[in-house]
Amino acid sequence: LEKEMLKNFAILDVETTGGKFNEEKITDISILVYDGLNVVTKFESLINPEKDIQPFVQRLTGINSELIKNSPIFKDVSKKIFDITKDKIIVAHNVDFDYRIIKNEFQNINIKFQRDVLCTVELSRLILPNLKSYKLSNLLSNFGIVNNNPHRANSDALAALNLFKILIDNDLEMKIIKSNIKSNNNDQ
């Protein structure tokens, strides 16, 4: 039964333009659907945000206007993102950020997006107490996991997946994981 629950996770990461709160747009997204053994579905895409990317973010991610100029806009990939995450629990490192960004992108095209979420930062604090830091890079180095391309969606999503596997292994009955799933059914 516990392993059956694992089929319902979509581990994801987004990179954005940066900027004012709730005005950020997605520039890079990766979604990995995990069945407890393998990634069964994967989606990744650069996205043309149709706005400038903050210089700080360009330096951090390596994503600039030239790189994304021929990429699809969010609306063009929205159905794929909606479908791949349907009936899934979104898992991310600092999930509130990624979920808010995706939800806003859908809101901008008049689509209501509601998914339950699970945060690997919060889970790490509960399942792996006493660590000095819960930053993704520090957690990964604790377990000898290499993130080849930090601040890029696919590399960070893979890193979050590897961390999530460790959290599952340390919460065998999935009690902590189950009790920390946040429902967003009442979102407006």
CB 92 within 8 A of CB 119: yes
Question: Residue 99: its pLDDT value, please?
Answer: 98
Question: Residue 1: its pLDDT value, please?
Answer: 43
CB 13 within 8 A of CB 98: yes
- The bridge status of strand 116-119 relative to strand 89-92 is parallel
Measured CA to CA, the distance from residue 60 to residue 105 in angstroms comes to: 22
CB 6 within 8 A of CB 88: no
Which SS3 state, helix, strand or coil, does residue 36 take?
coil
Question: Residue 3: its pLDDT value, please?
Answer: 54
Question: Residue 74: its pLDDT value, please?
Answer: 98
Question: Residue 120: its pLDDT value, please?
Answer: 97
Question: Residue 37: its pLDDT value, please?
Answer: 80
Return averaged pLDDT per consecutive 10 residues of the chain, 188 residues in all: 68 97 97 90 98 97 97 98 96 97 98 97 96 94 93 97 95 91 76
Using a 10 angstrom Cβ sphere, with 0-12 exposed, 13-18 middle and 19 or more buried, the burial of residue 75 is: middle
